[in-house]
């Protein structure tokens, strides 16, 4: 009896699967590559829009900016409501110090004081009353209260580098007429000395010479 013949036929490949052998071999079809490219373009565009639309950080107009200043100590005496030591910001005026001391008494001789003058650290201000206009500290030349130092309570006899002439400046140790003239010339250029340390800006006054005279000079009334 003859053996049966078995016929094996190859099954047809379903449509839609690996229609493009070249695309299948590459792993990613052309359409997929285009889709990925579009995705990255959109992603970059979104990032650029977000960056350009971001509000810059920093201080804007209208923001409160606090400037911290150091306080100085001033002694206010005489015809004020609460005489004694007061603390005022650096750059404060005589009026500010008097207000910190409670303000003027009714008998205060206000016309005797330059209220707009800038006070300095450890200054002593004596407010005269109308009854004691000839008390110690009264300056008959210009009707203002002399600056007095808290430490000694006597009139300040230091050389005022904002008003002194050559005759006064040469009394300082190590200061001759040449350097004295330079101090005056530099004062004319900058308008006035805001601090005694500015003397070191004058040619011929180094740190050593400045230390020799620093306790003997003042900027006086600013």
pLDDT of residue 179: 94
Integer Rg of the chain from CA:
43
Query: pLDDT-based confidence at 49, cuts 50/70/90?
Result: confident
**Residue closest to 221 by CA, chosen among 158, 133, 127:** 158
CATH of the domain spanning 159-218 = 1.10.150.320
Over residues 62-89, the pLDDT tens digits come to: 445 455 567 888 888 888 998 888 899 9
pLDDT of residue 5: 53
* Annotated domain spans of the chain: 71-149, 159-218
Class of domain 71-149 as given by CATH: alpha beta
Domains 71-149 and 159-218 share a fold: no
Please report which helix (H) or strand (E) contains residue 125, including its range: strand 123-127
Please report which helix (H) or strand (E) contains residue 76, including its range: strand 71-78
Looking at per-residue pLDDT, the higher value among 137 and 169 belongs to 169
pLDDT of residue 138: 45
Q: What are φ and ψ of residue 180, in 5° steps?
A: -60, -40
> Rounded mean pLDDT of the chain?
75
Looking at per-residue pLDDT, the higher value among 109 and 182 belongs to 182
pTM here is 0.36
Is 144 a residue whose pLDDT tops 60?
no
**Cα 157 to the chain's mean position, in Å?**
33
Half-sphere exposure (Cβ direction) of 2: Cα atoms closer than 13 Å: 3
Residues with Cβ within 8 Å of 84's Cβ and at least 6 positions away in sequence, in order, are 75, 76, 77, 101
Is 190 a residue whose pLDDT tops 50?
yes
pLDDT of residue 7: 53
Query: pLDDT-based confidence at 109, cuts 50/70/90?
Result: confident
pLDDT of residue 136: 43
Which range has the worst mean pLDDT, 19-28, 140-149, 178-187? 140-149
pLDDT of residue 12: 52
Which range has the worst mean pLDDT, 31-40, 72-81, 92-101? 31-40
């Amino acid at each position: 009896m003859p053996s049966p013949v078995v016929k094996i036929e190859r099954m047809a490949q379903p449509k839609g699967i690996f229609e493009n052998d070249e695309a299948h071999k590459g792993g990613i079809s052309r359409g997929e590559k285009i889709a990925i490219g579009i995705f990255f373009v959109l992603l970059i565009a979104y990032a650029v829009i977000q960056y350009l639309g971001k509000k810059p950080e920093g201080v804007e107009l209208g923001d409160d900016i606090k400037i911290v200043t150091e306080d100085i100590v001033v002694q206010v005496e005489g015809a004020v409501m609460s005489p004694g030591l007061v603390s005022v910001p650096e750059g404060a005026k005589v009026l500010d110090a008097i207000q910190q001391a409670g303000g003027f008494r009714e008998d205060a001789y206000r016309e005797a004081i330059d209220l707009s003058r800038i006070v300095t650290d450890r200054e002593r201000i004596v407010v005269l009353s109308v009854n004691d206009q000839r008390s110690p500290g009264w300056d008959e030349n210009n009707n203002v209260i002399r600056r007095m130092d808290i430490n000694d309570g006597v009139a300040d006899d230091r050389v005022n580098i904002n008003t002194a002439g050559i005759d006064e400046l040469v009394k300082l140790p190590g200061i001759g007429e040449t350097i004295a003239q330079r101090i005056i010339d530099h004062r004319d250029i900058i308008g006035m000395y805001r601090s005694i340390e500015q003397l070191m800006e004058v040619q011929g006054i180094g740190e050593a010479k400045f230390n020799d005279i620093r306790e003997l000079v003042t900027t006086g009334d600013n």
